[in-house]
Structure 1
């Protein structure tokens, strides 16, 4: 019953979220603030994570190819690294990382407003609080997470390039040749479809937990933890579903 009740409350909250914002100027101001808080402040973490994981992926691909029972050219390291980053690492793993960083921030910020009765005060003034508080976060997440995933793909590829350049395991020219090999164009669409779905979850699930928190500061902390856990679980499950639907 608790899960069904939460789904119903989440659906009703989303209906209120996507009502037309009351004032465009206030909405745009909130949107710019959320882009800074949720997007720009995450660029460094995404760059750092993607660069080193891209290097690790390239090294693992090279070692697997070397131990293969039949010879695989070195330029396949670049191709395999590119495909792995586009299909799985960048849209899924980076989204999970953002669920921890961004999700906890969203849940705690809205939860603090709830327990300090700021949301109640806004509602007394006739403000549609779900639209006012959550809609800018959803739009900012959908807009900027796509940019973050693009940055992640680029930095992951650069990480693989420098891993080969520094270790001398494979030639840079071979790695670049592998990057230039043609891959199905649908892989790009698949990457961004997953990014959009995961971005929506990252913005709305923590908002739900923060909006309906009850109690004090201790409950806000617990709500933030729950938000991160459930957002991560939903991303993993949805990743399986989308992979089955889109790639089969």
Structure 2
């Protein structure tokens, strides 16, 4: 409870004694490039294999003659949008971006750069952390959209390459019984995950104490705690929002 209270106070500090708007614009753009553009390659690689593996495994498990082949693509589409694209991408994102945020802020803390900002009267929490969280909330949904597209397209290419399902059946399958709310659901997850990863990682790095060893420990804790928070949020959002898919 002590850590939770400290985290809530930490988040509250983001909105007091803020800098000029132009300062945040520049910093948010810089952070968006770091957390978004620099993560595209790893997200694309992971998503491509997710789509390929999901297509092959689904095809080999749905072997009943009573089940049309287009059902395979339908399963791949919904699994990708509802779970795989946002959640798996969030875990990869936590490993890459979360550890980087914690390491950067932890290094600034032990080298007393954060203390120097506070001595100058600058709210270091707002100046350093707020742009990172905002950039994460803005860019992570973009990464999830990219991940979903690559996964579904990778499934299509896999179907052509392996012959587990015809390309025509795959294209039919990704269109049947489509519920637009699945996209909204994925974006809600993406916004929540983007906030959790950035906020928890920033919290771990901002309160680092000690030396280089502790910076490494903060980065490790940031990734671990972010992954746990993402999985907990995944369950909570599924419990709250999944009934709306059938409403």
**Please, what TM-score do these two structures have when normalized by structure 2?**
0.96
Q: 1:208 aligns with which of 193, 203, 206?
A: 203
Rounded Cα–Cα distance in structure 2 between residues aligned with 1:20 and 1:44: 37
Cα distance in structure 2, aligned partners of 1:173 and 1:142: 37
Write out per-residue CA displacement over residues 152-184 of structure 1, whole angstroms, 9 at most, x where no aligned residue. Answer: 010001110111111112110110011121322
2:96 to 101, 104, 112: 101
Paired residues of 2:36 and 2:139 also in contact (CA < 8 A):
yes
Corresponding residue for residue 60 of structure 1: 57
Q: Say which SS state the counterpart of residue 178 (structure 2) adopts.
A: coil
Task: Give the stretch that moved more between structures: 12-21 or 214-223.
Answer: 12-21
Residues 166-204 of structure 1: CA deviation (Å, up to 9, x unaligned): 111211011001112132222111111111111100110
Shift of 1:20: 6.0
Instruction: Please give the residue correspondences for 1:1-248 in structure 2 after superposition, counting only pairs within 5 Å.
Output: 4-19=1-16, 21-66=18-63, 68=64, 71-248=66-243
What secondary structure is seen at the aligned counterpart in 2 of 1:196? helix
Q: CA RMSD in A?
A: 1.1
2:36 aligns to what SS in structure 1?
Answer: helix
Contact 2:51 2:153 in 1 (8 A): yes
Contact 2:17 / 2:123 at 8 angstroms: preserved in 1? no
- Provide the C-alpha distance between the structure 2 equivalents of 1:238 and 1:218, rounded to a whole number of angstroms: 30
Structure 2 gaps, min length 5: none
How many residues are paired up? 243
- Give the distance between the partners of 1:49 and 1:30, measured in 2 at CA: 28
Is the CA contact (8 Å cut-off) linking 1:65 and 1:71 kept in structure 2?
no
Partners in 1 of 2:136 and 2:17 — Cα distance?
18
Q: Which moved more, 1:202-211 or 1:20-29?
A: 20-29
Structure 2 SS opposite 1:134: helix
> Does the CA-based 8 Å contact 1:21-1:27 persist in structure 2?
no
